[in-house]
Every structure is written in structure tokens, then in C-alpha cells.
Amino acid sequence: MEACMKKLRWIILFALVIVLAGAGFVMAKGGKEEPEEMETGGQVKPVTITVQMFSGPEFDAMVPTAEFWNKNYEASTGIHVNNIALSRVGYFEKMQSQLVAGLADPDLVHPFSMALGKLRPYLEDLRPYLDDPEIMTGPDGEKYEFTQLLAPAQAAVTASDGAILGMPKDMSELAVYYRKDIISDPPDTWPEFVEMAKNYTQSINPSSPTKYGVVLQGKYEKWTFAAALETLWSSGYEIFAPGSETDIDGYNKDAVKAFKVFQDLYEVKALYPGFDNTEYPEVSAALESADVAMAIQWNANYFSLTNKDISPKVWDKIALAPPPGWKQADGSVKRAMYVQTINLSLNKNSKNKEAAMKFLAWSSLGEGAYLYAEAGGSSPIEGVW
């Protein structure tokens, strides 16, 4: 398993570098405002910062991290951290509305890397803060550097003009989860994936130990489409017509080949029921039930699925594998993995920027990053990965 995880990590890092190579953000100017006064008459001035995240394992990991800060460092810094979770349903629209409206609260918001360009006008450039020794020194005296983050994570939040639009809190990628107690070798190719799903569906194979072969993310949210990209990209699909940089070649033979994977799974009823209204929480619940043999799911789920108290039926039966691919003429398998970072960004209209950045640096680069990882987060720093 350790070897598989190492292989998966290298694939993740390589994939993110490739994805980011062609990415850019809208150019705009940003800067650091005058810092708010943190002390009054020799005493620490109390301030409450609001950290708003979307509900899920990332927020769950931030709760004990913030509690640790409040218990150990609120008295010395004057900074109290208040956590808020927004529903996953319509999350991006809610967050964007807050920022566009110019609200000062929340101080820290939780965008994915794919949304940073769109939100650029409403986010603070972090570079001046990252150059501030006071910000980049923890309450325990530890010194931080932005370069502690993995290189792909740094690139994910850096605009084409060098502006840094957020602090990566999680490296997020889609992998194959499978029941290692019944599957000795996970599928290498998408056709093998379909056949294996059929074999572990009781309506097709009555002797199957699981009711269904696979659970997928079929519900529309702005992140669920990524589950299909791994099938599409590895098929050889190119968005532009051959020899052109302007003509879109939308639904070509490679796209047909890729999406037929999902059609085949649907037609033979190998999919977990209700897949069209399924995303992260429902995929997790299906795996926890022990009724499904495989899933395409975000890496964040591994923490809870391998926790005996949270997932008593499967905690010792779950393994990870890279996504399948398509066999090439030379016998190799072409794979693709979707990777992104989930970040905390500083609201440009925040009234507590210094305080928010003090906590953000600690929780992303220092002691707090390790606490966050222990609670189920995926802090993209060397010590964790």
C-alpha cells in the first residue's frame, strides 16, 4: 500500500504541474493596506476573525485546528478564530455574492484554485504579508516561508503577474477507491474498470460480495465534472480540431469513447442507485455501507474511510489506486489525474487583514498545518506529503 501511495503522490504532483502550465489568471494590481493596530496601551487588542469554508472534511479539519489556536494563542495574540461552514449546495455562488457585495465579513474565504481568476478583483494579494516577518513568525516563535509549500501548490495560487491569491490548505485529487479485501488488483484501463464493476454487481453476478460495482459523482456542482475529466483526458481528447488553435472539436471520437464508459455502466445497472444526485458525501456514504466495490472519489475521503469509529464496516478494507487509463499501441497505459488546491484567500474588504494572515500563516505553514493534517486535512507541505 505504501508503494501505491508513493506512486499516487508522484502522479498527483506531475499532473498538477502539467495542468497549471497552461493556466493563467486575470491581471490586476493588489497591495497591502496599512495594518490594523494590534495593541492598545501595551495590551493586546482583541479581534475576532471569521474563517468561512464549505462543509466537508476540510471544515471538519479546521474546527480542531482553530480550537487549538483559541485555547493556546488567543490570550497572547488577541486573535479569536470563528469558523463558519456554508452548505455545499450552491457554495460558489454564495461566496461570490458575498465578495461582489463588498462585505467585510468573512475575513477568509475558501475558493478552489479553478475559481481564483474569476474572484481576483475581490481577493487580496498576499505577497506583502508573506514578506512581513511579524506575519511569518508563529506565536510559538517558529519562522515560516511560503516555499515550504509543494511547488505545484505554490503555482496553483500564483497569478501570471506573480500575485499570490490564496494559501493552499489542501491538495485535492480524484482517485479510485476499491475494496482490497475482494479486489487484489485494481483496474488499469477504463474497459477493465467497466468489466470489474459488472462483476461486483449482484444483479449481473449473483455471487458478487457487493450489491453494486461502482459509485460515481453524477450530481452537478462546480467540482463534480472533474470526475469525468480523467476518463476524457486519458482518451486522447483534444479540445481543438487537428491542426487548428481556434476551431473547437467538441464531441469527437475520443470524447465518444470516453463517455461510453459511463453509458455502459448505466445501461448494465452497475452504478450505485441515485448516482445522478450523488457527490462527495453520498459517495462516502456508499463506500461506508460496504455495498459498493469501487468509487471515483476525492482523496480527502481516505481519512474517514480508514477510521474505525467513522467507517466500522470498511475501515480496514479500503485502498487507493491511480485512475485507470487507455491502453496505447505500444502496450502502455495513458492515464490522467485531475488535481486542484483548495485554498483560504483574504477578503479584500476585510477589516482584520493582519490578524487573519497571522492565523492563516500558522495554520498553513506552521504548527497548525500539522494539526490540520492530523484532523483529516491534506496540507500540501513537505512534512505532510
Confidence grade of residue 17 (pLDDT, cut at 50, 70, 90): very low
- β-pair partners for 85: 53
Q: Is residue 71 part of a domain?
A: yes
Same domain, 127 and 235: no
Same domain, 199 and 75: no
Q: Is residue 381 part of a domain?
A: no
Same domain, 111 and 209: no
Same domain, 21 and 151: yes
Same domain, 75 and 187: no
Query: Can you give the pLDDT at residue 45?
Result: 85
Q: Is residue 41 part of a domain?
A: no
Q: Is residue 220 part of a domain?
A: yes
pLDDT digits (tens, 9 = 90+) for 135-188: 999 999 999 999 999 999 999 999 999 999 999 999 989 999 999 999 999 999
Same domain, 167 and 316: no
Q: Is residue 162 part of a domain?
A: yes
Same domain, 161 and 176: no
- Contact partners, residue 322, CB within 8 Å, separation at least 6: 7, 8, 11, 175, 176, 335, 337
Tell me how many domains the chain contains: 2
Q: Is residue 384 part of a domain?
A: no
pLDDT over 60 at 322, yes or no: yes
Q: Look at residues 352, 334, 340, 326 and name the one whose alpha carbon lies nearest to residue 380.
A: 340
Q: Is residue 69 part of a domain?
A: yes
Most confident of 26-35, 215-224, 333-342: 333-342
Average pLDDT score over residue span 319-344: 95
Average pLDDT score over residue span 263-281: 93
Same domain, 191 and 221: yes
Average pLDDT, the chain: 88
pLDDT over 60 at 24, yes or no: no
* Enclosing domain of residue 357: 2-27+47-171+342-374
192 burial level (CB within 10 Å; 0-12, 13-18, 19+): middle
Query: Can you give the pLDDT at residue 151?
Result: 94
Tell me the CATH number at 10: 3.40.190.10
Q: How many C-beta atoms surround the C-beta of residue 71 within 10 A?
A: 9
Same domain, 13 and 144: yes
Higher-confidence residue of 90 and 192: namely 192
Q: Is residue 35 part of a domain?
A: no
